[in-house]
């Protein structure tokens, strides 16, 4: 299966359906409009924070490192940025308040006091067309860079959380409530 980056979703139904894994969508038209407004693109990601990720893919390109790639996994830095865009888009959609998180999702407080949405890797993986295991493997360099975090709530549910300040939100800040 292919990675379904938000900017690649062409039709309204595809946008709504792909995010149903993560959100309880009650207003499909409003949800589609918000996705169009807040979807992250590669240029939104602050790549200066991705030192380890860049090093890994430069090593792969030069032949010094060989990746054992699972089906659907990102094989390039650009592919990893697409995965990061999906995670940032999830974060932004949740923070707009347009739809509630599915029960596997939850909210945590960051150290700065702001709230951050968390979703199980398996659910975000389905949006990308990957298994949760493959997504976690693809996210490993991003986790090492500190732009994503794996968190667990008091009930033992684990999920992925986007770190604060990893993307430019100046154009979408007015839509974010959390």
Instruction: Walk along the chain (178 residues) and give the pLDDT tens digit of each residue.
Output: 334 444 444 444 467 888 998 999 999 999 999 999 999 999 999 999 999 888 888 887 777 666 665 555 567 788 889 889 999 999 999 999 999 999 889 999 988 888 999 999 889 888 888 888 888 888 888 999 999 999 988 888 889 999 999 999 999 999 998 7
Q: 112-138 in b/e burial notation, b at 16+ Cβ within 10 A? A: eeeebbbbbbbbbbbbbebbbebbbbb
Residue 86: closest CA among 76, 97, 96, 94: 94
CB atoms within 10 A of CB 90: 27
Residue 116: closest CA among 106, 124, 128: 106
Query: Could you tell me the residue ranges of all domains in the chain?
Result: 10-175
Q: What is the DSSP string of 102-169?
A: PTT-EEEE-TTS-EEEEB-HHHHHHHHTS-HHHHHHHHHHHHHHTSEEEEE-TTS-EEEEEPTTSB--
Residue 35: closest CA among 47, 22, 49: 22
Q: At what angle do helices 51-62 and 132-145 cross, to 10 degrees?
A: 110
pTM of the model: 0.86
Question: What pLDDT was estimated at residue 55?
Answer: 86
């Amino acid at each position: 299966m292919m990675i379904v980056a938000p900017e690649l979703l062409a039709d309204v139904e595809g946008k709504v359906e792909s995010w149903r894994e993560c959100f309880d969508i009650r207003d499909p038209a409003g949800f589609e409009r918000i996705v169009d407004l807040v979807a992250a693109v590669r240029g939104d990601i602050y790549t200066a924070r991705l030192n380890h990720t860049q090093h890994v893919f430069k090593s792969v390109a030069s032949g010094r490192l060989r990746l054992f790639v699972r089906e659907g996994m990102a094989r390039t830095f650009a592919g990893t940025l697409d995965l990061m865009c999906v995670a940032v888009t999830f974060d932004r959609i949740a923070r707009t308040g347009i739809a509630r998180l599915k029960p596997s999702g939850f909210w945590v407080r960051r150290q700065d006091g702001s709230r951050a949405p968390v979703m199980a890797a398996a659910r975000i993986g389905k949006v990308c067309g990957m298994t949760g295991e493959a997504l976690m493997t693809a996210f490993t360099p991003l986790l090492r860079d500190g732009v994503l975090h794996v968190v667990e709530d008091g009930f033992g549910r684990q999920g992925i959380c986007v770190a604060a300040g990893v993307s430019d939100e100046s154009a979408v800040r007015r839509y974010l409530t959390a």
